[in-house]
Amino acid sequence: MANVLNDPNALRSRGRAALQRGDWAETRRIATSLASNGDAAEALFLAGMADAESGRVSAGLEALGKAAALRPSAEYTAQLARFSIQARRDGAARAAAERAEMLKPEDALTYDTIGCVYARLGDHAAAARMFQQAVARNPDNGEYCYNLGAALGFVGRSEEAERVFEARLAADAGNGRVHYALSGLRRQTPEHNHVARLEAALTAAHGADDRLRIRYALAKEHEDLGQAAPAFAHLHAANEQRRGAIGYRFEQDRAIFDALEHVFGAGDPLIGGGIDEAAPIFVVGMPRTGTTLVDRILSSHPDVQSAGELQAMPLAVKLVAETRTRTIVDPDTIAATRGRDAGEIGRLYLARAREHLQEAKPRFLDKLPANFLYVGYIAQALPNARIVCLRRNPMDTVWSNYKHLFASNSPYYHYSYGLEDTANYYLRFDRLMRFWSRLLPGRVLEIGYEAMIDDQERETRRLLDHCGLSWSDACLDFHRNSAAVATPSAAQVRRPINRDAVGRWTAHAEALGPVRAMFERAGILPET
């Protein structure tokens, strides 16, 4: 009789159990035993997972790649894709995800893993396809159901998304993440809203994260219904909770703005001539100012596709700076770019950006709002790229930032949980854009959100002319664009242009009084 301690089947079971409970040392020990007992592929898989999960991602990827080569398994390949995306190797992640899908997974987890990779790559249609398979195999799994609902919302299948979320709430009535996602699928009305249910869910909520998200949902729905006082009360409570949890201080962002102005104020920090490439169009600005609207207008042009909100430029600058700081943008990284090669930043940017392009079109959009920090680098590294900056009434900008729950892992928007922090951030954004304008005259076209609303055709012609694009009537019908939208503006940009979001701050004029006073002291006099 074979020794059970050396039986490959028993070792595989024990290895999977150790992996599931996070015992990396035991997982590696069992992997060594498996390798000695003839199952090299599973041994590499277990060792690779233990390495990747414990932070040794490069070593983990190497082992997972070998495992998938030895045994072309959907599971192995999906995990290879998952950790490739974590390592920001987007091209490798897409290739592995596509191979894993072709290998026809049998289990729900593998489908969900592939879907999460597609979602991170911005391919929400493919993600929805994978999440549907995961839910079909395990309809009781809350994570799979949430992922499916979110993906359906991103691709405009709002009614289907609503059914998925409602089914999930029937099983898990206190799920704050689902409540928040459901509230954002459409504008709520007196006849059709969830306020009463949300109030009950808030009372019964046990976890801090559920309470946070339910409060954001309540704030959104009360505002939709024109109920300013309860909207602000819920939002203020949620933001105070969030702000306390992250421990943000405005000095963190002030130091970044100071570093940019210092480095570029002393002359071009980069050397070399950059890359002669006209394909990219950067849509930048404070978030919640119309960047998604302009992205939809431009990507409705037959020569343009949207690549979404890419981290490609921040990563290119970080890689060239070679700093070991944990944040992607910080004063040390900015200082370290002096004397670095502009062409290398351009090459790194284009290589990563093109991994997100799904069509063969001559131009593409990068709509990461925070690229306004990188205008100087873009101008040197990609001298033929076009840059568009969105502007919006500063009071509406502050209010719209303050009321939005940004992704918890976002490195850019921690200021948004305090009104005065958001106002201070806006003031430095405004100052930096004026700095870029003096330094790089004519490079950045500023488009006013309100101007676009008031005269769409005139502003669209300005936009297309700046970007070197011919006129296209399709740009006026941007709401017919079927591409996915993974921002809070998804519902709005699927309707014709309208003034619904103009002047929203006035409903909270008293609470925003200190912000207005800050702007007036700075010489910014927002219209009412």
Rounded average pLDDT over 281-310: 95
Say if 36 falls within a structural domain.
no
**pLDDT tens for each residue of 73-101:** 999 999 999 999 999 899 899 999 999 99
Rounded average pLDDT over 498-511: 86
Whether the per-residue pLDDT at 2 is higher than 50: the answer is no
pLDDT at 358: 82
Q: How far apart are CA 173 and CA 308, in angstroms?
A: 33
Q: Residues 146, 152, 154, 158: is their CA dihedral positive or negative?
A: negative
| CB neighbourhood size of 266 (10 A) | 9
Cβ–Cβ < 8 Å for 220, 403: yes
Rounded average pLDDT over 13-42: 93
pLDDT at 221: 97
Whether the per-residue pLDDT at 1 is higher than 50: the answer is no
> Across all residues in the chain, what is the average pLDDT?
93
Whether the per-residue pLDDT at 374 is higher than 70: the answer is yes
Whether the per-residue pLDDT at 3 is higher than 90: the answer is no
Cβ–Cβ < 8 Å for 415, 248: yes
Residue of 330 and 481 predicted with greater confidence? 330
Helix axis angle for 176-183 and 142-154, nearest 10°, is 10
Among the listed residues 427, 442, 430, the one whose alpha carbon sits nearest the alpha carbon of residue 519: 427
Q: How far apart are CA 16 and CA 240, in angstroms?
A: 42
Structural domain for 449, as ranges: 251-521
Whether the per-residue pLDDT at 338 is higher than 90: the answer is yes
Cβ–Cβ < 8 Å for 359, 416: no
Both tokens of 483, joined, read: 């591409």
Whether the per-residue pLDDT at 416 is higher than 70: the answer is yes
Whether the per-residue pLDDT at 522 is higher than 50: the answer is yes
**What CATH number has the domain bearing residue 327?**
3.40.50.300
pLDDT confidence of 479, banded at 50, 70, 90?
Answer: confident
Whether the per-residue pLDDT at 63 is higher than 90: the answer is yes
pLDDT at 359: 85
Say if 408 falls within a structural domain.
yes
Say if 289 falls within a structural domain.
yes
> Worst-scoring range by mean pLDDT, 328-337, 343-352, 405-414?
405-414
**pLDDT tens for each residue of 259-294:** 999 999 999 999 999 999 999 999 999 999 999 999
Whether the per-residue pLDDT at 528 is higher than 80: the answer is no
pLDDT at 206: 81
Share of the chain above pLDDT 70, in %: 95
Helix axis angle for 74-86 and 57-70, nearest 10°, is 160
Say if 81 falls within a structural domain.
no
Say if 243 falls within a structural domain.
no
**pLDDT tens for each residue of 144-166:** 999 999 999 999 899 999 999 99
* DSSP letter assigned to residue 304: E
pLDDT confidence of 395, banded at 50, 70, 90?
Answer: very high
Provide the whole-model pTM: 0.88
Both tokens of 78, joined, read: 């999906």
Contacts of 255 (CB under 8 A, 6+ apart): 330, 331
pLDDT at 527: 60
- Count the domains in the chain: 1
Whether the per-residue pLDDT at 366 is higher than 60: the answer is yes
Q: CA-based angle 20:21:23, to the nearest 5?
A: 105
Say if 191 falls within a structural domain.
no
**pLDDT tens for each residue of 320-333:** 999 999 899 999 99
Say if 67 falls within a structural domain.
no
> Worst-scoring range by mean pLDDT, 136-140, 202-206, 482-486?
482-486
pLDDT at 5: 62
Say if 291 falls within a structural domain.
yes
